[in-house]
Amino acid sequence: MKYISTRGQAPALTFEEVVLTGLAPDGGLYVPETLPSFSQEEIASWANLSYQELAFKVMAPFVDGAVSDTELKRIIAEAYSSFRHDAIAPLVQTGHNEWVLELFQGPTLAFKDFALQFLGHLLDHLLKKRDQKVVVMGATSGDTGSAAIEGCRRCDNIDIFILHPYQRVSEVQRRQMTTVLEDNVHNIALEGNFDDCQNMVKASFADQSFLPEDRQLVAVNSINWARIMAQIVYYFYAGIALGAPHRPVAFSVPTGNFGDIFAGYLAKRMGLPIDQLVVATNSNDILHRCISDNDHSKHQLEHTLSPSMDIMVSSNFERMLFDLYDRDGDAIRQLMDDFKSGTMTLNNAALEKAQSLFSSHRVSDERTVEVIRDVFDHCEYLLDPHTAIGVEAARQTRRRKDVPMVCLATAHPAKFPDAVREAGQDSDPALPHHMADLFQREERYDVLDHDIAKVQDFISRNIRP
């Protein structure tokens, strides 16, 4: 299995190389040269597998021997051993043929744990094998950072630096990052928004001259292919639990960076009978506008009750564009150049493909709060604001009532008490037992100006020998 860049001017890499590379040298994102596909009979045979067993079946073709089967099974087992529910990704029914897939049972209460617990253990294995030390640099709108830190905090060969927008993540999200006090963990609160953080990370990957000669950057954001690969698994897990491949299933995905729903698109291409994929956005709706109106233009970023989706530059959408444009790297380079000026327009063929693959819907803060209240009133199930956006988008765009609709629950409601209070709850949702003392733990982070030279200097000074 080889991996190629969406912009067509970088050499193809092996799985091990692509995990350790992040962005391609031409600025593109790596994708598999070919996708594995599974027959209906093969998918049906997986009906009684545990989540860990299924993860091995889905991911092994992408790894293609770069990690032995024995080691891959061990990495998967260790990655999901810290999850609080034996099902790993349990389903809860919230309406007629409507289900919530709980992706918040991991150690940091967000769906990012699925990929980043796996990636942390994978990196630890690869780096020990290569006797190599690296620097992990990532940007977070709230959840990626804590999940990445949790995945890497015990890795001797990694120094990790996470940028989050100062005072623009929830208190629970911040404390999950800043109360991890290991020597290899550094939290940077950047004076700016998430897109500023993400742009700084991309620029640093493009020019790594600020690092010592024996170090390189490794990505933990969803530009890293291994994260997308790990997220494909729970689409198969939910689909099979609800009757696939003998009947189709639909998914609604709250998304800002397009990585999570891109994994669903790949699951469909790999053989899972997905009838509908819904792109659910908040008022930062560039993905909804692009799919519905061919309007992929940057607007002023709004700060919402669903901060993990407060994103205007959806990095993983480039991977989708690559397929919409029949894997034409030249066309993708031109589109990305166009977007630097603030907008880009899809050609008719690409737009028609996008509209055939995805439904989309935008949900306001006001409606988000109403949905949290409505679902709780009807079934006493408490949604976080991101999941509420997914539920509302599903209900507004659903095509077939006879097809199970799965709404991805991307975070635990305790991470977003402001939204829960606005929905009329008398008290904040309780944190799980392992995190009950979060607000008493010591914090450590550094507030830095929106200045790449200052950030890079901070990183270079804090890398362990």
CA angle 175, 138, 281 (to 5 degrees): 80
| DSSP SS3 for 34 | coil
Name the residue with tokens 């099902």. 87
User: What is the Cα–Cα distance from 234 to 187, expressed in whole angstroms?
Assistant: 29
Polymer length in residues for the chain:
465
Q: Is residue 270 part of a domain?
A: yes
Q: Give, for 178, the enclosing helix (H) or strand (E).
A: helix 171-178
In a domain, 30, yes or no: no
Confidence of residue 379 (pLDDT cuts 50, 70, 90): very high
Is there a domain that residue 242 lies in? yes
> CB-based contacts of 340: which residues, under 8 Å, 6+ apart?
none
- Is residue 433 one of the residues assigned to a domain? no
- The total number of structural domains in the chain stands at 1
What average pLDDT score do residues 171-193 get? 95
Angle between helices 51-63 and 225-241 (to 10 degrees): 140
Residues 452, 208 contacting (CB under 8 angstroms): no
Instruction: Give the whole-angstrom CA distance, residue 116 versus residue 103.
Output: 13
Average pLDDT on 5-14 reads 97
Cα–Cα distance, 432 to 439 (Å, whole number):
13
- pLDDT range class, residue 80, cuts 50, 70, 90: very high
Task: Write down the mean pLDDT value for the chain.
Answer: 95
Nearest to 381 by CA among 90, 150, 111, 152: 90
Per-residue pLDDT tens over the stretch 265-321: 999 999 999 999 999 999 999 999 999 999 999 999 999 999 889 888 898 999 999
- Residue 219, domain member (yes or no): no
Q: What is the pLDDT of residue 371?
A: 97
Taking the C-alpha atoms of residue 170 and residue 12, their distance in angstroms, rounded to an integer, is 40
The CA–CA distances, whole Å, from 85 to 54, 89, 109, 120, 432 equal 16, 8, 12, 20, 12
In a domain, 159, yes or no: no
CA–CA distance, 65 with 48 (Å, rounded to integer): 25
CATH of the domain at 342: 3.40.50.1100
Q: Residue 330: which domain range?
A: 80-106+225-422
> How far apart, in whole angstroms, are the C-alpha atoms of residue 89 and residue 85?
8
Domain presence at residue 48: no
Distance CA 369, CA 35 (A): 39
Residue 335 domain-assigned? yes
In contact, 252 and 408? CB cutoff 8 Å: yes
| pLDDT for the residue numbered 23 | 85
Alpha-carbon dihedral of residues 408, 137, 81, 391, nearest 10 degrees?
-10
- pLDDT at res. 33: 97
Q: Residue 183 burial by CB count (10 A; 0-12/13-18/19+): exposed, middle or buried?
A: exposed
| Catalytic residue IDs | 112
Cis peptide before 413 (omega within 30 of 0): no
Q: Place 410 in a pLDDT band, splitting at 50, 70 and 90.
A: very high
HEC profile of 376-412: HHHHCCCCCHHHHHHHHHHHHHCCCCCCCEEEEECEC
| Residues 6+ away with beta carbon under 8 Å from 91 | 99, 100, 101, 102, 238, 241, 242, 406
d(CA 12, CA 1): 10
